[in-house]
């Protein structure tokens, strides 16, 4: 009586590339028989093969098994440093932009105050009473009221 043969497939981490395909007798164990998987280095760093998903199931094959290669990424320290520096620069630029916007807002407020014919007390009271968020917000409307 012939024993049942079960398919075991070893895939690369793209889950498309077949690295090894075997038919194993039911209940037997098997091992990967191909060349050690490799993944090309990228800008992020170097990859090292570390094993297979479901590797523990290779000891006793009882059903069709698909294993996928696992890799460990060793981050390129130069890229890591460059990314860190870029994030710091980005944060600094963001703060600079916020500071410039705040300065422009203050400058616009100052110009609005210069154009407003009311006293400082009148302006502050108007802001408090009407819930304005910026001085000069209703300057055109106020100007019309004062000219009447």
d(CA 130, CA 64): 75
**What's residue 148's pLDDT?**
44
Report the relative pairing of strands 18-25 and 45-52 from DSSP bridges: unpaired
Q: Is the pTM of this model over 0.75?
A: no
Cβ distance 82 to 74 under 8 Å?
no
29-75 pLDDT, tens digit each? 999 999 999 999 888 889 999 999 999 999 999 999 999 999 999 88
Closest CA to 50 of 32, 62, 63: 32
The stretches of 29-119 forming alpha helices (DSSP H) are 77-115
d(CA 88, CA 13): 33
Q: Where are the domains of the chain?
A: 5-75, 79-147
**What's residue 115's pLDDT?**
74
Pick the CATH number of 5-75 from 3.40.50.300, 2.60.40.4270, 2.40.240.10, 2.60.40.10: 2.60.40.4270
88-137 pLDDT, tens digit each? 677 767 776 777 777 677 666 666 766 777 776 777 777 777 766 555 55
* Type and span of the H or E element at 33: none
């Amino acid at each position: 009586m012939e024993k049942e043969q079960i398919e075991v497939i070893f895939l690369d981490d793209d889950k498309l590339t077949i690295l090894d395909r075997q038919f194993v007798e039911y209940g037997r164990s098997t091992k990967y028989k191909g060349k050690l998987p490799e993944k090309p280095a990228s800008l992020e760093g170097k990859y090292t093969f570390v094993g297979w998903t479901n590797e523990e199931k290779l000891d006793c094959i009882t059903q069709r098994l698909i294993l996928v290669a696992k890799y460990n990424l060793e981050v390129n320290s130069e890229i890591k440093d460059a990314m860190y520096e870029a994030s710091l620069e980005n944060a600094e630029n963001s703060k600079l932009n916020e500071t410039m916007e705040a300065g422009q807002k203050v400058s616009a407020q100052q110009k609005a105050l210069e154009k407003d014919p009311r006293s400082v007390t009148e302006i502050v009271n108007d802001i408090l009473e009407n819930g304005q968020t910026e001085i000069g917000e209703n300057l055109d409307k106020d100007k019309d009221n004062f000219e009447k």
